[in-house]
C-alpha cells in the first residue's frame, strides 16, 4: 500500500511543474551532484519541505538543520527510497557542517505568524535569526543560492544582503526572496473563478510578499479569461494578498500556511536546481535585487541559470487597476526594505 502511494506521489510530481522531466528532459541519472541545506528543517514548514526535497531527483545530498528536533526528522525522511542522502544537524555548533558545500540553502527558520501578530512582532523575532544564519552562510557556503522563506521576506532579504556585503560575499544573483506561494495562490484562485484547468494557468505576481505589496497581474494571466468582471479581479487580488491570513484564521491559532508554503518552497528550489544544471528557460517570480522600480528589491519574473539570476524581467503592460496597485504598494515596500537594512547595520 505504501509502495503504491509513493509511486503515485512520484508519478504526480513527474506530471507537475516540479518535475525534473518537464521542459527539456533532464533525467536524474545525468544530473550532477547537488547539496541542498534546509535551515529550520524541524519546523512547521521545514518538515514538509524536507519531505518534498527528498522526493526531488536533482538532490544528491539533503542537509537538515535546526536548533532542536532535527535528528528525528532526518531519520524519518532518510528512510524514503529516493536518490539523496540525508544528514541531520542540531545546534549552533553544527551549523557550519550543515552548510559546507551547499549549492542551495533554503531558510524557513523562525516563528510562523499567529492570530493577532503584527509584522513588527514577526520582524522582531525572525530578523535576528536570519542575520545569524546568513552570517554562517557567508562563512561556510558563500556561493550558494539562498532561498529566503522566513518572514517578513520584504525585510529579511535586505537583511541577508547587508550581512553578505559586510562579509564581502554578496552576489545579488544568488539571493532570492521566495514569493512562489503568492503565484501558487493566484493560479489556484484564478483557475477556480475563470473555470479553467489550473494546470495550464500562469499568473505573474510582482511587488513584495506581504499584504498590499503582493500584486498579482491578472491582466497578464494565461489563459486569458474574458468572463471576469472588474469586481471579480479586485476580489481575486485581495484574496491573493490575504491568503496567509485566510489560512491562519482557518487553523484557529494552531498554525499558519505551512503545507502550501513548503510546496511553493520546493517548486522554487527545484527551479533553482534546474537553472544551476543548465536547463534553459526556467522562469519564476522572486523578490530580488532589481532595477524594475526605484526600489532596490522587487519581485518580478526572473530567469534562472547557472549563476542564479540570469535576467530580471520588467513588469510589462499593466491594467489601470494594477497601475494603482503598484503605486500604492511602493511606499510600504520601501519602508519594509529600509527597516531590514537598518536592522542589519545597527545590530
**Binding residue per annotation — 151?**
yes
Catalytic residue among 34, 54, 131, 209: 209
**Binding residue per annotation — 255?**
no
**Binding residue per annotation — 94?**
no
Cα–Cα distance, 274 to 279 (Å, whole number): 5
Cα–Cα distance, 283 to 298 (Å, whole number): 16
**Binding residue per annotation — 121?**
no
Kindly give the interhelix angle for 46-54 and 70-78, rounded to the nearest 10 degrees: 30
Cα–Cα distance, 297 to 159 (Å, whole number): 12
The DSSP output letter for 44 is T
Cα–Cα distance, 291 to 277 (Å, whole number): 26
**Binding residue per annotation — 41?**
yes
**Binding residue per annotation — 191?**
no
**Binding residue per annotation — 44?**
yes
C-alpha cell at 107: 531558510
**Binding residue per annotation — 265?**
no
**Binding residue per annotation — 267?**
no
**Binding residue per annotation — 185?**
yes
Active-site annotation holds for 79: no
Cα–Cα distance, 205 to 77 (Å, whole number): 32
**Binding residue per annotation — 219?**
no
**Binding residue per annotation — 113?**
yes
Scanning the chain, the segments in alpha helix (DSSP H) are 2-15, 46-54, 70-78, 95-99, 119-140, 153-167, 180-194, 230-241, 243-250, 258-276, 320-346
Residue 194 vs residues 219, 236, 244: alpha-carbon distances, Å? 13, 11, 22
Residues marked active site are found at 209
> Could you tell me which residues are annotated as the binding site for substrate?
113, 119, 151, 185
Annotated binding site: 40-46, 66, 113, 119, 126, 149-151, 185, 261
The annotated binding site for NAD(+) is made up of 40-46, 66, 126, 149-151, 261
Amino acid at each position: 500500500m505504501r509502495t503504491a502511494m509513493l509511486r503515485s506521489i512520484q508519478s504526480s510530481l513527474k506530471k507537475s511543474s516540479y518535475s525534473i522531466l518537464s521542459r527539456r528532459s533532464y533525467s536524474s541519472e545525468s544530473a550532477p551532484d547537488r547539496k541542498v541545506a534546509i535551515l529550520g528543517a524541524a519546523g512547521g514548514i521545514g518538515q514538509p519541505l524536507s519531505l518534498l526535497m527528498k522526493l526531488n531527483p536533482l538532490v544528491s545530498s539533503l542537509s537538515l538543520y535546526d536548533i532542536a528536533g532535527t535528528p528525528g526528522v532526518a531519520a524519518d525522511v532518510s528512510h524514503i527510497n529516493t536518490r539523496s542522502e540525508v544528514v541531520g544537524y542540531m545546534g549552533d555548533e553544527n551549523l557550519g557542517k550543515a552548510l559546507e558545500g551547499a549549492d542551495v540553502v533554503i531558510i524557513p527558520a523562525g516563528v510562523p505568524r499567529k492570530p493577532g501578530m503584527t509584522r513588527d512582532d514577526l520582524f522582531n523575532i525572525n530578523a535576528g535569526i536570519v542575520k545569524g544564519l546568513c552570517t554562517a552562510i557567508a562563512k561556510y557556503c558563500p556561493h550558494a543560492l539562498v532561498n529566503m522563506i522566513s518572514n517578513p521576506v520584504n525585510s529579511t532579504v535586505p537583511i541577508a544582503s547587508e550581512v553578505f556585503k559586510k562579509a564581502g560575499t554578496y552576489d545579488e544573483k544568488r539571493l532570492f526572496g521566495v514569493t512562489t506561494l503568492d503565484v501558487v495562490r493566484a493560479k489556484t484562485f484564478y483557475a477556480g473563478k475563470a473555470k479553467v484547468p489550473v494546470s495550464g494557468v500562469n499568473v505573474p505576481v510582482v511587488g513584495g510578499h506581504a499584504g498590499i505589496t503582493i500584486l498579482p497581474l491578472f491582466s497578464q494571466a494565461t489563459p486569458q479569461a474574458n468572463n471576469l468582471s472588474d469586481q471579480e479581479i479586485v476580489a481575486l487580488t485581495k484574496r491573493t494578498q490575504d491568503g496567509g491570513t485566510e489560512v491562519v484564521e482557518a487553523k484557529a491559532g494552531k498554525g499558519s500556511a505551512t503545507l502550501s508554503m513548503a510546496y511553493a518552497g520546493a517548486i522554487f528550489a527545484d527551479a533553482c536546481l534546474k537553472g544551476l544544471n543548465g536547463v534553459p528557460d526556467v522562469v519564476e517570480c522572486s523578490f530580488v535585487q532589481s532595477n524594475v522600480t526605484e526600489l532596490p528589491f522587487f519581485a518580478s519574473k526572473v530567469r534562472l541559470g547557472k549563476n542564479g539570476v540570469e535576467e530580471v524581467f520588467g513588469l510589462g503592460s499593466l491594467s489601470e487597476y494594477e497601475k494603482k496597485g503598484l503605486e500604492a504598494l511602493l511606499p510600504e515596500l520601501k519602508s519594509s526594505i529600509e527597516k531590514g537594512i537598518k536592522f542589519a547595520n545597527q545590530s
